[in-house]
Amino acid sequence: MINSYNFRFSEVYWCSNVPRTIALTGNEAAAWGARLSRVEVIAAYPITPQTQIVEKLSEWIEKGEFNAEFIRVESEHSAMAAVAGASAAGARTFTATSSHGFAYMYEMIAWVAGARLPVVMGVVNRFIGPPWNIWADWMDALSARDLGWIQIWASNNQEVLDSIIQAYKIAENKHVLLPVMVSLEGFVLSHTSEPVQIHDQELVDQFLPEYNPPHYVLNPEVSKPFAFGNILWPWDTVHLRWDMHKAMLNAKDTIKKTVKEYEELFGINHGDLIKEYETDGAEVVIVSMASIAETAENVAAELRKEGKRVGSLKVRFFRPFPSKEIVDVLKDKNKVIVVERDLSIGHDGILAMELRSVLHRYNTEIPVYSVSLGLGGDEILPEQIKKVVNKVI
Partner 1 sequence: MITALVHPIEKFVRSERLPHIWCSGCGMGMIFNAFAKAIEELNIDPKKVVIVSGIGCSGRASGYWAYDGFHTTHGRPIPFAMGLKLARPDLHVVVISGDGDLLAIGGNHFIHAARRNVDILVILVNNFNYGMTGGQVGPTTPEGVRTTTTPYGNYTEPPFNAVWLAAASGAVYVARWTVYHLRNLTESIKTAFQMKGFRVIEVISTCPTDFGRRNALPDPLDNLRYLKENAVYVKNPDPREADIVWGKKFIIGEFVKIEGKESFDDRIRRLIEIAQKELRRSDLQ
Nearer to partner 1, 5 or 233 (CB): 5
Q: How far is the CB of 161 from partner 1 (least distance, A)?
A: 21
Nearer to partner 1, 70 or 211 (CB): 70
Where on the chain is the footprint of partner 1 (CB under 8 A)?
1-5, 7, 45-48, 51-52, 54-55, 58-59, 62-63, 70, 72, 74-76, 100-101, 104, 129-130, 132
Nearer to partner 1, 99 or 372 (CB): 99
Q: How far is the CB of 92 from partner 1 (least distance, A)?
A: 20
Nearer to partner 1, 51 or 295 (CB): 51
Nearer to partner 1, 65 or 328 (CB): 65
Q: How far is the CB of 111 from partner 1 (least distance, A)?
A: 19
Q: Who contacts 133 (Cβ-Cβ below 8 Å, separation ≥6)?
A: 126, 127, 376, 377
Q: How far is the CB of 143 from partner 1 (least distance, A)?
A: 15
Nearer to partner 1, 5 or 235 (CB): 5
Which candidate, 277, 90, 273, 292, places its Cα nearest to that of 184?
A: 292
Q: How far is the CB of 1 from partner 1 (least distance, A)?
A: 5
Q: How far is the CB of 182 from partner 1 (least distance, A)?
A: 21
Q: How far is the CB of 167 from partner 1 (least distance, A)?
A: 23
How far apart are the two ends of the chain, measured CA to CA in Å?
A: 69
Q: How far is the CB of 66 from partner 1 (least distance, A)?
A: 13
Nearer to partner 1, 76 or 159 (CB): 76
Nearer to partner 1, 132 or 233 (CB): 132
Between the CA atoms of 268, 270, 274 and 280, what dihedral angle is there, to the nearest 10 degrees? 80
Q: How far is the CB of 62 from partner 1 (least distance, A)?
A: 5
Provide the sign of the torsion angle of the four alpha carbons 76, 77, 80, 86, taken in this order. negative
Nearer to partner 1, 52 or 258 (CB): 52
Q: How far is the CB of 4 from partner 1 (least distance, A)?
A: 5
Nearer to partner 1, 51 or 155 (CB): 51
Question: Rounded to whole angstroms, how far apart are CA atoms 374 and 364?
Answer: 29
